[in-house]
Amino acid sequence: MSTTHHTKALVIGSGPAGCTAAIYAARANLEPIMVRGLQPGGQLTITTDVENYPGFAETIQGPWLMEQMEAQAAHVGTKIIDDIITEADLSVRPFRFKGDSGDVYTCDVAIISTGASARWLGLPSEEAFMGMGVSACATCDGFFYRGKEVAVIGGGNTAVEEALYLTNHATKVTLIHRRDELRSEKILQTRLFKNPKVEVIWDTVLEEVLGNQAGPALALGGSTTPPGVTGLRLRNVKTNAESTINVDGAFIAIGHSPNTDIFKGQVDMDDSGYILTKPGTPMTSVPGVFACGDVQDHTYQQAVTAAGTGCMAALDAERYVAELESEATAAE
């Protein structure tokens, strides 16, 4: 049997943006509900070592960090529900949402923090080595490849920017693109081609990520081989010739897709589906609806920036609710 939940502030998504919004909303006595979503904890839950989140001198684990954020949100009073919002109606007041469970959620303000998902190639070997040498975020994981060789898959701005960033750490970066020319901006291409650490392999696709997944014992000595990526099997799209290259890591850089399908036609978005917000704020085109984190940020896409916009969304939500209550009191 379905249940209807009402709250002053509904937080949709539980990554760094959502958890931070929930923490601030709870401390503002908005009694928020946070619906965890399809990927509770967001993209950090598929990231292992995290060294760039402020406040931790030692390396921490992404899943652990999100567990702590969620626990903090619960501690200050957030009601956390394990559900997925599948329908949204922003044309009514209070706003109305439906979950995959069948439950209905209504709220005075909605904070959208559903994030963005990295696009993947869909290879079984790619999935097998996620977090063990396969990544979709150079700024998150590039530091771990100091003095090593890596590959970047893609040909747009994302791929070229990732490749250039990785040259700050890796000894060699191989960019693998399925066409014979890049789709990125010309200024980025110029920088890429001038960098002595970069090699480009044209007309080529990734067929398989190679490596040691389980760390089986070696034949002699009884030691184990550390798990991780050791190379890539490639295929030339024009000749079908296959080849292998040795790398320590592979970065899939074919872009991100914001998780905004259920909001299409209800809030303003750009051509890529990212929610548009008023410059310098998390305010969307619908009063009382706020967006924070990667769902409206296609530039930085970092946990710390997502958390910052989550804070902003909650603070603006608090002001909006206060205005509603003031108007209601004046009308009595």
Which of 83, 108, 141, 294 does the annotation list as catalytic?
141
Q: pLDDT tens-digit profile of 97-107?
A: 999 999 999 99
Percent of the chain with pLDDT over 90: 81
Predicted pLDDT at 48? 66
Q: Catalytic: 137?
A: yes
- Kindly report whether the global pTM for this prediction surpasses the value 0.85: no
Residue 211 tokens read as 């490596």
C-alpha span between 194 and 153 (Å, rounded): 19
Q: What is the band of 158 on the pLDDT scale with cuts at 50, 70, 90? A: confident
Predicted pLDDT at 224? 60
Predicted pLDDT at 218? 43
Q: Catalytic: 107?
A: no
Q: Catalytic: 100?
A: no
Predicted pLDDT at 149? 98
**Domains defined along the chain, listed by start:** 4-117+256-331 (3.50.50.60), 120-252 (3.50.50.60)
Nearest alpha carbon to residue 293 among 284, 306, 280? 306
Burial class (CB in 10 A: 0-12, 13-18, 19+), 66: buried
Which of 140, 248, 292, 297 does the annotation list as catalytic?
140
pLDDT at 221 over 80: no
Predicted pLDDT at 301? 85
Mean pLDDT of the chain: 93
Percent of the chain with pLDDT over 70: 96
Which of 19, 107, 137, 292 does the annotation list as catalytic?
137
DSSP E strands, the chain: 4-12, 33-35, 49-50, 60-61, 79-81, 85-89, 95-99, 104-112, 116-118, 134-135, 149-153, 172-176, 198-201, 204-212, 228-236, 242-246, 249-252, 256-258, 289-291
Q: pLDDT tens-digit profile of 63-90?
A: 999 999 999 999 999 999 999 999 999 9
Please state the rounded mean pLDDT for residues 223-248: 92
